[in-house]
Structure 1
Amino acid sequence: MTSTCSRTRTRASVLFWPLPPVFVLVPAALILVLTLADTWSQLSWRALDWVYLSAEVGTRARLPVVVAAGAAALVGARFTRPGLVFAQRWQPRVERDVPWRHCAVVTGWCLTAYLVGLFPLTLAVAAYGAGVPDLTAIAGALTGFAALTLFGYLCGVTLRGPLAVPVAVGLVFLLASLPLVSDAWSALSLQPPVSPSLGTRESTAVGPYRIGFFLLLAVALAWTVAALLRTPRRFSAGYGLAVAAVAVAVVLPHLRPFPLLAHAGNGTEVCSERAGVRYCVHEGHRDELTTIADLATPVFAAYGLADAAPDEVRDLSLAESDGEIVRKSRKGTLWVGVPPGWEPEQEVPSPAAEWLVPDVFRCGSGGVASLAADAPPEARRAAVLADLRAWLITRAHEDGPVDDGVFAGAAPERVREWIRRNPERLSTCDVNPGELPWRT
């Protein structure tokens, strides 16, 4: 019995050696909790797809990688101090084997905990099954996770004290957040500032560049750790070339920033027709087609002018280029975005109403809309357009009266009749609140 328990403990210790289990189990548990908490609300999202999940592997790693870097810094500071009997610089075991084993154990446990935390979201996406995974984006995120964890270990080796942990945490958080400050950092960090979804993808250059940069960074960091723990400290020509290569790789995206996203242009459309308007969505969004038609049709019907409605309402995921979006918009196509987690009850009626009602800036009020008695005439006319847009949006949800604005208490039939009689005045914003028939 004693022999069996000893073998079990020996096998378990291989997963942690040469670190005490608490140094990896605590950060791994924290990363697991953070990841689950960060992704739990997404499990019930609409329109999830594999392209979005591939980008989220990097996006959701922003806080977990900070925890991993802090844990690696603590290990580096605690177990490579010169005062420790087993960590003297003249001892060969600290040159490569033990430090690299430290990094492997911390990175392995923290990265595994992160991937386990993403597993429920992966199952939710697999149930929907739209699109295909972007393996380049996933590989870049995981490589970056490992490289930034190694950076935290370097902070511990360099500072050799408790200060290493907050320094590593702060620096890694800064590095992971830089894409939010400037797009040029996207090729050098875990994720772009915006996540692609079905119909879009990361540009061809960003993903491979990110992988190459993090691999190069990891090599330079590992080389630096080995050099700092060696006696005497020796930095070879190869090390100098690695550091120079990292510096060049950091500068290049700032000289000519990479485009972040591109249209995939590889989706098959699914279409239907309702009241003379054609509705088309990406095949991965076929479950949303009926919802879009159900929410947009009442808005167009409430306006009452068939010629004012678009010829087609089209899923933005079907666009093959920005030029196609502009070109088809001019020819009668209303584009509707269907991103993961979207709320169609809010995101379909609004663009439908905006298609029908002129922009309030046409009224000459600088976008200001007000019904106040002392408001200038331009602002009062703009208020009519703003309230008309709000009234049309409510038609998608229920057909009852509006409680406020210039359309409060107006019967839908009277509003449609007024619109039929005044299409030119509406288009030029030549409408005054006092002239509305249900207010006189």
Structure 2
Amino acid sequence: MILYLAAFVACMFIGVPIAMSLGLSSVVYLFAMDRWQLMIGFPQKMIAGVDNFVLLTIPFFILAGNLMNSAELTRQIVRFAQMLVGRVRGGLAVVNVLASMMFSGVSGAATAEASAIGSIMIPAMRRDGYRAEYAAALTAAGSILGPLVPPSLSLILYGVLTGTSISDLFLAGIVPAFILCGLLIVYAMWRARVEGHPLPEPVPASERLPLAVKAVPALLLPVIIVGGIRSGVFTPTEAAAVAALYALLVGMILYGTLSPSKIAQAFYDTATMTAGVMLIVAMASMTAFILGIENIPREIAGLMRGLSDQPWILLILLNVVLLILGLFLEPLAALVLAMPILNEIFPLLDIDPVQFGIMVVLNLMIGMITPPVGLCLFIVTAISKEPLERVAYAILPMIAICLVTLMLVAFVPAFTLSLPALFEG
């Protein structure tokens, strides 16, 4: 495995995309270890990695998010958040976090959220007197709310890999998302008092009702998804198709902003994004196969068992390992790679699989806002045109807030299991 890791690090260092790095490292390992005969099964393992009916939810949910974004939903959500916040000092920062929370129910992906909210909020905050690096950091921190609520692509993949109920996972992520959102708002309001951030312009009374009318249908999307799955009206895969159709109708009929060219572009973007996601999953499946050959999952589980037999100590160690993994790998690839190991460790932790899933996903999402491979951090840095090191320094307090939320998820089951239990009843 040392050879595999060396090849992987070398590929990443020279700028090879993550999916190709995983595949090339696997090929290097098989030839170097004189197991080239297994190359015959390489395509089979790749296909097997994506040959799951539930994975059809991913392109449909991506399409729903792209259609909503093409319909200029982001601007509607931002204005609606401004109406809710009112004249609060530092209100534009609060609007940033609230808009991220609202957009979470549409995008399902942190990168989409960072680019959509960032392209509007970062220039607006800069014009209002906020420091650009703070605006970028706050946008990046808010972007990880998306993968915690439906339609989260990471939670879908976790459910596929582990057999955990996707509707339970969707419900379980809602409370942690609200906790994280609330903590970020408190931090933004504290910063506003300390640094004297300006009061936002009020939304005219004549615009409030139209804003609510246009924003509410979009905010109903996660309710339709979870409610439909939970009530048995449709399966997760059917829910994704319903979400895409709903987004199309809302954009065309209610907003009237979806032209044929925008719809075509949304389908094109969905195809390219889906291809990228599935390629990562397929390549990571081959790496997971190599981990199985080397018996790495059982060895790591045995090592952790030898360190301690206390579940809480093992839970802390696992969180540290996942945080480090998230620093270097895209979350979907990290999930596919880590699950064989996590499945061996899971029986030692005395934790519910739904709670465990939220903890794992939140860990990997924090990696999206930290260097050296923090994609959301790179996106907001490009939008703000600020140096990466300044944005990374500004986001440190927000990473601390994310870690507090992570500890609550890991050690207080009620935060993740209360909603699934309530709806089960």
Same fold, TM-score > 0.5, yes or no: no
- Greater strand share, structure number: 1
TM-score (norm 2): 0.29
TM-score (norm 1): 0.28
Q: Which has the higher contact order (CA 8 A, sep 6+)?
A: 2
- Greater helix share, structure number: 2
